[in-house]
Structure 1
């Protein structure tokens, strides 16, 4: 039987990822099979989860996904000894208007699945007040059960004692207390956490986190607080997303790495074949593929190198003459005419679209997106409604092509980044999560 729990916190930066990675690897070190999940649209944390457990981690998103889609993804938990879902932001944080399954809050997933929540509480600059915060979170939403807390960034034994005493008076279990340890902090980048596949010392960092957590957290108590996963009727994730083709040429390297794991799984489950290629290695899409997909990533960090990859650009241009090519966010920018980097230097891109983007003046674009297609993209017909998420710091200098979709944010407000299309090439700034059904 599989035990399951959720790691959450009152706010971002409390230490959710450190505890999740440490707990997951500590359980794996004890011979357990660990299945991780990520609540919300973050596409970086799942890569770290995989590095910690050896198994792919997938997103559970209550705004973009239906209950049936979430059930189809959670079913994999029954094959593990423990399932650990890492929350996003604060436990109850989401958007103002609900989507298909909720507002995108971790609490939605906790209530939906009945999994207990372990809160990471950072009592820096306070003591007994931390218990008041935990009490408020415990009582805020019926149907969400707080199993207990792990304290993080505890300053001293005296500090820990004060907080523990207050938690005991509030009848809140304390599973452990982590002293301040900056050495295992996961490094940052402008889009969030540095990708696990880029982090040369990722495994060393995770191993240190596991030792740190095992030393200061009562793992037995945490496991006893977890609940047994109830097997869902869902048996496959194939219904979560449609494959864009039968044989998919997928760009995959340091510049093109942001694609939701559940998307690739769904494509394969539906019988599609994925053939990867590296634009940074000057490779073109597979000649036998019937569609090419360029996901997001950090093309602005590799713009000069991409501009110099003439063979990649020629092969992509040739492919697009007869078959569809689609790009998401960074991939969309590379399909454009040019990309200006943070230093103000313009680099020539593939030229399949007229899009010009710039990072010279950074502006954050962040949030859920609901798009109604004005034209088809690979896998979806004109008129389809797609749910996704946008996160980048580029600005549009020129977007001369036909618009691809009418796009709104989670509040219903119109979004200017509509995506664009030209002949067989399409692109969007949002990363597709699921079709709106």
Structure 2
């Protein structure tokens, strides 16, 4: 039987969802409960923090990119848990304006699909009883989304808390906790979000502090009591592995890969052979496919340009077998990468792509790609759903396009990906094949 669940959401980004989620995972784990985390939407950084706090793998659940069957199948991994805790993305109702053939990817759409009630985190800075009007509006917005209660965040004083609670009582909104202002558990960030969990030596202290903070200021028993029955079931519909043996780049420059993708490959019987380009490793010659995930190649452009064994090994591999790159991996397969200082760094040269960070421009959003040629694991004509998020600019993209790509609203996207020989690459991160 699948555990009951809750979604931690908020009116907007930056309100305290991650702090509360990590604190709850740590505090409930300390109580001896098994809590299975999930992340609503395409964020690939938060699941690493969830795993560190809960001791269990966290995967993304995305109502735009995934069908209900796939989401249900992924939730099935929580069949031995006491509670499911899903962290939302952006604001509760924030999603894309889609072309109409799929859901909008919002946390509210996941709540409606799963039956999980919402715990709303409210940043109460600069307001008192008016916060209740915000909560009441969120409670009434969609009849198929149930608000279990609120956690008041950044509460200035006991008097401030009393005023907030009075407003919530009048509006009939349960208060599950009140978090005072504090800075002990702030985490460093950079241009694509938080610095990843594996890169933070201070992570154990941060999680311990978050657990204590939440346990002291949230009514954990009451929160557990409002969790809702999980009402979705599904089947295994994992992404097919691109090969039997997959050489996978994994280090600080190449770390963005969705957990459900790797898990699906393994469950399908594929063997993953990790290697580190930053350590100047070449892909394992026993592999029949090489996969370069996204990450931060722009932070390591110099070391990657100097990694002769990696670059020569990758070129040799691509003479006879497929090499595929996503976003940062795609850039590393190109001819050159220009860093934010304007310095040009030679990359592997498997593709003619030249990208630059000298003038930053954000590219963000869902992508629907129809392949115009084969790529590893997927034949021409296949429709793929993914997500793009980077700050690089294309200066040259001379190779044959890999796909016709549109955004969630159906508008054409110029980042079509590329193909040359056995080398392919995309700027979007693959999430699932389009089933609808």
Please report the TM-score for the alignment, with normalisation by the length of structure 2.
0.98
Q: Does the Cα contact within 8 Å between 2:38 and 2:61 map onto a contact in 1?
A: yes
Q: Does the Cα contact within 8 Å between 1:40 and 1:59 map onto a contact in 2?
A: yes
1:181-220 to structure 2, matched below 5 A, reads 181-220=182-221
Answer yes or no: is 1:67 the counterpart of 2:68: yes
Label 1:205 to 1:199 Cα distance change in 2 as closer, same or farther (>3 A): same
SS of residue paired to 1:27: helix
Q: 1-side partners of 2:142 and 2:305: how far apart?
A: 52
Please name the residue that 2:224 is paired with: 223
1:304-383 to structure 2, matched below 5 A, reads 304-383=302-381
Label 1:172 to 1:406 Cα distance change in 2 as closer, same or farther (>3 A): same
1:12-411 to structure 2, matched below 5 A, reads 12-97=13-98, 101-230=102-231, 232-234=233-235, 236=236, 239-411=237-409
Unpaired stretches in structure 2, ≥5 consecutive residues: none
1:54 Cα offset (Å): 1.1
Label 1:17 to 1:98 Cα distance change in 2 as closer, same or farther (>3 A): farther
Q: Does the Cα contact within 8 Å between 1:252 and 1:277 map onto a contact in 2?
A: yes
Q: 2-side partners of 1:29 and 1:228: how far apart?
A: 23
Q: Does the Cα contact within 8 Å between 1:38 and 1:60 map onto a contact in 2?
A: yes
Label 1:42 to 1:263 Cα distance change in 2 as closer, same or farther (>3 A): same
1:228 Cα offset (Å): 3.4
1:77 Cα offset (Å): 1.6
Unpaired stretches in structure 1, ≥5 consecutive residues: none
1:204 Cα offset (Å): 1.3
Please name the residue that 1:418 is paired with: 416
1:200 Cα offset (Å): 1.5
| Deviation sequence 1:156-176 (CA, Å, 0-9, x none) | 111111010000111111011
Q: 2-side partners of 1:405 and 1:229: how far apart?
A: 37
SS of residue paired to 2:212: helix
Alpha-carbon RMSD: 1.1
Q: 1-side partners of 2:396 and 2:231: how far apart?
A: 51
Q: 1-side partners of 2:34 and 2:311: how far apart?
A: 43
Q: 1-side partners of 2:329 and 2:51: how far apart?
A: 24
SS of residue paired to 1:257: strand
Could you list the runs of 4 or more consecutive aligned residues of structure 1 that deviate by over 3 angstroms after TM superposition?
A: 98-101, 228-231
Q: 1-side partners of 2:398 and 2:87: how far apart?
A: 41
| Deviation sequence 1:251-289 (CA, Å, 0-9, x none) | 000000000000001111111111100000000111110
Q: 2-side partners of 1:331 and 1:176: how far apart?
A: 43
Count of aligned pairs: 434
Please report the TM-score for the alignment, with normalisation by the length of structure 1.
0.98
Q: 2-side partners of 1:129 and 1:43: how far apart?
A: 34
SS of residue paired to 2:251: coil
SS of residue paired to 2:60: strand
